[in-house]
Structure 1
Amino acid sequence: MTALTLAMLLTAAGMGMAEAAPSGPLALEGNASTTSAIPTSDPIPAAQSKAMQRDLGLSADGVQSQLAADADAGRVESKLSVSLGKAYAGTWLSKGSMTPSVGTTDPAQSALISASGANPVLVSRSLDELDQVKATLDAKTAEAASSVRSWYVDPTSNTVVVESQDAAAADALIQKSGADVSAVRTLSVNAGYEPKDVTRGGDEFRRNVSGGYILCSIGFAVDGGFVTAGHCGANGQNVQGFNGGEMGTYRGSSFPGNDYAWVQTNGNWDVQANVNNYNGGAVAVNGSDEAAVGASICRSGRTTGWRCGNIRAKNVTVNYSEGAVYGMTTTSACVEGGDSGGSFISGNQAQGVTSGGSGNCSSGGDSIFQPLQPILQKYGLRLKLQGGGGGGRSIIGLANKCIDVPNSDFADGKRLQLWDCNGSGAQKWDFAGDGTVRAGGKCMDVAWANTANGTAIQLANCSGNKAQQFTLSGAGDLVSILANKCVDVTGNNSASGTPLQLWECSGNPNQKWRLG
Structure 2
Amino acid sequence: MSRTLRARIFLSVLLTLPAVGLGSGTAGAAEPDPSPSGGAGVMASPGQYALDSRLERTLGDHGAGSYLDSATGELVVAVTDAAAAETVRASGARAELVGRSTAQLQAVMDVLEARAKIPGTSWGIDPAANQVAVEADESVSTPSMARLRAVAASLGEAVRLRRVPGTFTKEVAGGDAVHGGGFRCSAAFNVSRGAELFFLTAGHCTESAVSWSAVAGGPEIGTREGSSFPTDDYGLVRYTGTPEAPGTVNLHDGGAQDITSAADAIVGQALRKSGSTTRVTSGTVTAVDVTVNYSDGPVYGMVRTTACSSGGDSGGAHFSGSTALGIHSGSSGCSGTNGSAIHQPVREVLGVYGVEVY
2:260 is the alignment partner of 1:286: yes
What residue identity is the alignment partner of 1:300?
Answer: S
- Give the equivalent residue in structure 2 for 1:85: 60
- Give the equivalent residue in structure 1 for 2:11: 8
Note closer, same or farther for the CA distance 1:102–1:168 as it changes in structure 2 (3 Å cut). farther
Note closer, same or farther for the CA distance 1:179–1:251 as it changes in structure 2 (3 Å cut). farther
- Give the equivalent residue in structure 2 for 1:114: 89
Note closer, same or farther for the CA distance 1:97–1:262 as it changes in structure 2 (3 Å cut). same
Among all aligned residue pairs of Structure 1 and Structure 2, give the percentage whose two residues are the same amino acid: 34
- Give the equivalent residue in structure 2 for 1:247: 221
What residue identity is the alignment partner of 1:382?
Answer: V
- Give the equivalent residue in structure 1 for 2:100: 125
Post-superposition offset of 1:270: 2.7
2:289 is the alignment partner of 1:320: no
What residue identity is the alignment partner of 2:117?
Answer: A
Note closer, same or farther for the CA distance 1:246–1:323 as it changes in structure 2 (3 Å cut). same
* In 2, Cα distance between equivalents of 1:348 and 1:190: 32
- Give the equivalent residue in structure 2 for 1:229: 202
2:202/2:234 contact within 8 Å kept: yes
2:263/2:346 contact within 8 Å kept: no
Q: How does 1:355-504 map to 2 (within 5 A)?
A: 355-360=329-334, 364-378=338-352, 380-385=353-358
What residue identity is the alignment partner of 2:134?
Answer: V
CA-atom RMSD in angstroms: 3.1
Gaps of 5+ in 1: 11-55, 386-516
User: Computing the radius of gyration over CA atoms, which structure comes out larger, 1 or 2?
Assistant: 1
* In 2, Cα distance between equivalents of 1:83 and 1:268: 44
What residue identity is the alignment partner of 2:342?
Answer: I
2:290/2:301 contact within 8 Å kept: yes
- Give the equivalent residue in structure 2 for 1:154: 126
- Give the equivalent residue in structure 1 for 2:187: 218
Taking structure 1 as the reference length, the TM-score comes to 0.56
Note closer, same or farther for the CA distance 1:129–1:262 as it changes in structure 2 (3 Å cut). same
Taking structure 2 as the reference length, the TM-score comes to 0.79
Alignment counterpart, residue 238 of structure 2, candidates 259, 264, 270: 264
What residue identity is the alignment partner of 2:71?
Answer: G
* In 1, Cα distance between equivalents of 2:158 and 2:145: 14
1:195/1:340 contact within 8 Å kept: yes
Alignment counterpart, residue 274 of structure 2, candidates 300, 307, 318: 300
1:225/1:263 contact within 8 Å kept: yes
* In 2, Cα distance between equivalents of 1:251 and 1:373: 18
* In 2, Cα distance between equivalents of 1:109 and 1:251: 43
* In 2, Cα distance between equivalents of 1:78 and 1:4: 34
Tell me the secondary structure at the aligned position of residue 212 of structure 2: strand
Note closer, same or farther for the CA distance 1:236–1:339 as it changes in structure 2 (3 Å cut). closer
Post-superposition offset of 1:150: 0.1
What residue identity is the alignment partner of 1:206?
Answer: H
What residue identity is the alignment partner of 2:88?
Answer: I
- Give the equivalent residue in structure 2 for 1:338: 312
* In 2, Cα distance between equivalents of 1:248 and 1:102: 42
- Give the equivalent residue in structure 2 for 1:205: 178
Post-superposition offset of 1:370: 0.9
- How many positions carry a matched residue from both structures? 320
Post-superposition offset of 1:72: 4.6
What residue identity is the alignment partner of 1:164?
Answer: A
- Give the equivalent residue in structure 1 for 2:29: none
Higher relative contact order (CA 8 A, sep 6+): 2
1:208/1:240 contact within 8 Å kept: no
Post-superposition offset of 1:327: 0.9
Post-superposition offset of 1:235: 6.6
- Give the equivalent residue in structure 2 for 1:96: 71
CA deviations over 1:283-317 (Å, ceiling 9, x no partner): 11121122311111112122222211111111100
Tell me the secondary structure at the aligned position of residue 265 of structure 2: coil
* In 2, Cα distance between equivalents of 1:171 and 1:73: 41
1:136/1:177 contact within 8 Å kept: no
1:330/1:369 contact within 8 Å kept: yes
2:274/2:317 contact within 8 Å kept: yes
What residue identity is the alignment partner of 2:190?
Answer: A
2:49 is the alignment partner of 1:74: yes
Tell me the secondary structure at the aligned position of residue 356 of structure 2: coil
What residue identity is the alignment partner of 2:186?
Answer: S
What residue identity is the alignment partner of 1:159?
Answer: Q
What residue identity is the alignment partner of 2:100?
Answer: R
Post-superposition offset of 1:96: 2.8
Q: How does 1:10-29 map to 2 (within 5 A)?
A: none
2:172/2:316 contact within 8 Å kept: no
1:329/1:368 contact within 8 Å kept: yes
1:86/1:126 contact within 8 Å kept: yes
* In 1, Cα distance between equivalents of 2:154 and 2:237: 40
Note closer, same or farther for the CA distance 1:112–1:374 as it changes in structure 2 (3 Å cut). closer
